[in-house]
C-alpha cells in the first residue's frame, strides 16, 4: 500500500524564467501540484493522502537542515535562505521581484579556489547553473516544505515515524523538484536535492544501507549523479533524453569514480523514442537495481516524458505510466520505496498521468 504526502506551503513558490528573450511565468508552477491534487481528490481509487504543514518546531527544522547539510554546502543553504532579502535590502528588487543570475562560474586555468563574490548581485550566479531557478519572496518556505516531504516520507518508510505497517511506498508531491541540484547550486527549477536528503534521512538510522535511485524524469538528474558519483552504496540509474537539458551530463560513459565505479548508470534515449524503446531501457535499469539489492529505493518521477510535454520529447502516453510503474514495482517489490515528484509540464494531463502511475504501482 502507498501513502501520498503533500504540503500547501509548496504552492507558495512561483517564479519566472526566460523564453527567448522574454520573461514568462516558470513552467514549474503551483498549478502543476493543484492539478495532481484535484485528480487525487476525485479519483475512484482509495488513496491515502496526508497533508503536512512545513516543519514548525525547532527540533524538526534543525534535523532537516542537518540531513540536508550532509550533501549541501552550508554557504549555499544560507544563500537560499537569505538572497531574496539581501536583494530587497540592496534595492535590486521590490517585494514582488525575482532573484535571477547574471554571471555564472566558468573554467579558468589559474588553479585558484573559487570564492563566493562579495557583490550580492553576482552571488545569484555563483549559486546557480542556469536561469530556470529564480527566487521570489516565498521560495525558501516552499523549498523547505518540498524537501521536508522527502524527509517525512523516508521517516515513515524507515520506521522512524509511525505508519500503519502495510505501507511500503510513500509518494511525496514535491515542488520545487530536486534532481538538478548538486548541493552547491540551483538549476533546472531545483534548489535542494530531495533525493539526496532522503538518502541522508535513511542513513541516520541505517548508516550502512544501500540505496537505489531510479530517475525517470525526461531530464538527466545531473545533481543526483554528482552528489553520489563517488559513493559505492548508492546506485543511480537514469533514463533521459540524449543531448537534452542539462546538456553537459548524462552520457553512458559516466559510470562513477573510484570504488563507486559501476554505480552510476546513464541510459540516454534519442528524442522521439517510443514506449517500446523506453521499456527496453527500463528493463535493463531495473535489472541493475535488482542486482544491487538496495535496502531503500527512491524513484525520481517526472511526467515530462509525456508525448506533448513542452520540455520533453518521448512518445509516452497516459496509459504507459501504468506499465512503467507496474513493471518497476514488480521487479523491485519488497523494497521500501519513496517516489519523489520531479518534472512534468502538461498541466491538464498531470493528474491523469499520476493516477495511471499509481494504478500500475498498486497492481505490480
Catalytic residues: 180
Number of residues that bind ligand OKP (CB under 6 A): 16
Cell of 323: 506499465
Those residues with Cβ within 8 angstroms of residue 56's Cβ, 6 or more apart along the chain or in another chain: none
The neighbour count for residue 310, using CB atoms within 10 Å, is: 11
252 lines the binding site for ligand OKP (CB under 6 A): no
Could you tell me which stretch among 16-24, 45-53, 216-224, 246-254 binds Zn ion (CB under 5 A)?
216-224
Nearer to Zn ion, 98 or 219 (CB): 219
- Give the whole-angstrom CA distance, residue 100 versus residue 93: 10
Nearer to Zn ion, 201 or 273 (CB): 273
Residue nearest to Zn ion (CB): 343
Q: Which of 241, 294, 343, 360 binds ligand OKP (CB under 6 A)?
A: 343
Spatial CA neighbour of 70 closest among 170, 204, 174: 204
Q: Which of 13, 219, 281, 313 binds Zn ion (CB under 5 A)?
A: 219
Q: Which of 157, 227, 342, 357 binds ligand OKP (CB under 6 A)?
A: 342
Cβ–Cβ under 8 Å, residues 102 and 124: yes
Which residue shows C-alpha cell 573510484? 258
CB of 189 to ligand OKP, least distance (A): 5
- Give the whole-angstrom CA distance, residue 345 versus residue 32: 7
- Give the whole-angstrom CA distance, residue 237 versus residue 356: 22
Could you tell me which stretch among 26-34, 157-165, 272-280, 295-303 binds Zn ion (CB under 5 A)?
295-303
- Give the whole-angstrom CA distance, residue 307 versus residue 292: 31
146 lines the binding site for ligand OKP (CB under 6 A): no
Question: In whole angstroms, what separates CA 100 from the centre of its chain?
Answer: 21
Nearer to ligand OKP, 157 or 341 (CB): 341
- Give the whole-angstrom CA distance, residue 104 versus residue 135: 16
Choosing among Zn ion, ligand OKP, none, which partner's interface includes residue 19 (Cβ < 5 to 8 Å by kind)?
ligand OKP
Q: Which of 254, 304, 320, 322 binds ligand OKP (CB under 6 A)?
A: 304
Spatial CA neighbour of 312 closest among 188, 193, 196: 188
Could you tell me which stretch among 24-32, 147-155, 217-225, 229-237 binds Zn ion (CB under 5 A)?
217-225
- Helices 275-292 + 318-332 axis angle, to 10: 20
Could you tell me which stretch among 16-24, 97-105, 119-127, 264-272 binds ligand OKP (CB under 6 A)?
16-24
Interaction site with Zn ion (CB under 5 A): 217-219, 302, 304, 343
Amino acid at each position: 500500500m502507498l501513502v501520498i504526502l503533500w504540503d500547501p506551503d509548496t504552492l507558495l513558490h512561483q517564479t519566472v524564467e526566460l523564453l527567448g528573450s522574454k520573461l514568462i511565468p516558470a513552467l514549474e508552477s503551483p498549478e502543476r501540484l493543484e492539478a495532481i491534487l484535484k485528480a487525487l481528490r476525485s479519483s475512484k481509487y482509495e488513496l491515502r493522502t496526508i497533508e503536512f504543514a512545513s516543519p514548525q518546531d525547532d527540533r524538526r527544522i534543525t534535523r532537516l537542515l542537518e540531513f540536508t547539510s550532509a550533501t549541501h554546502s552550508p554557504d549555499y543553504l544560507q544563500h537560499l535562505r537569505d538572497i531574496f532579502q539581501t536583494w530587497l535590502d540592496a534595492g535590486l528588487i521590490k517585494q514582488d521581484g525575482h532573484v535571477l543570475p547574471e554571471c555564472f562560474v566558468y573554467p579558468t586555468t589559474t588553479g585558484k579556489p573559487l570564492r563566493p563574490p562579495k557583490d550580492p548581485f553576482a552571488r545569484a550566479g555563483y549559486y546557480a547553473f542556469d536561469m530556470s531557478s529564480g527566487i521570489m519572496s516565498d521560495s525558501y518556505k516552499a523549498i523547505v516544505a518540498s524537501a521536508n516531504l522527502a524527509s517525512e516520507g523516508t521517516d515513515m518508510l524507515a520506521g522512524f515515524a509511525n505508519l500503519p505497517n502495510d505501507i511500503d511506498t510513500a509518494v511525496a508531491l514535491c515542488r520545487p523538484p530536486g534532481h538538478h541540484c548538486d548541493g552547491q547550486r540551483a538549476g533546472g527549477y531545483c534548489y535542494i536535492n530531495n533525493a539526496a536528503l532522503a538518502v541522508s534521512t535513511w542513513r541516520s538510522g541505517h548508516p550502512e544501507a544501500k540505496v537505489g535511485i531510479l530517475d525517470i524524469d525526461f531530464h538527466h538528474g545531473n545533481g543526483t549523479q554528482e552528489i553520489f558519483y563517488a559513493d559505492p552504496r548508492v546506485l543511480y540509474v537514469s533514463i533521459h533524453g540524449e543531448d537534452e537539458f542539462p546538456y553537459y551530463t548524462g552520457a553512458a560513459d559516466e559510470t562513477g569514480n573510484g570504488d563507486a565505479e559501476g554505480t552510476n548508470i546513464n541510459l540516454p534515449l534519442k528524442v522521439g523514442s517510443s514506449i517500446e524503446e523506453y521499456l527496453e531501457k527500463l528493463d535493463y535499469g531495473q535489472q541493475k537495481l535488482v542486482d544491487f539489492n538496495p535496502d531503500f529505493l527512491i524513484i525520481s518521477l517526472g511526467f515530462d516524458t509525456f508525448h506533448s510535454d513542452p520540455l520533453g520529447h518521448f512518445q509516452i502516453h497516459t496509459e504507459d505510466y501504468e506499465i512503467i510503474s507496474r513493471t518497476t514495482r514488480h521487479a523491485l517489490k519488497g523494497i521500501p520505496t519513496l517516489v519523489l515528484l520531479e518534472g512534468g509540464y502538461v498541466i491538464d494531463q498531470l493528474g491523469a498521468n499520476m493516477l495511471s502511475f499509481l494504478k500500475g504501482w498498486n497492481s505490480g
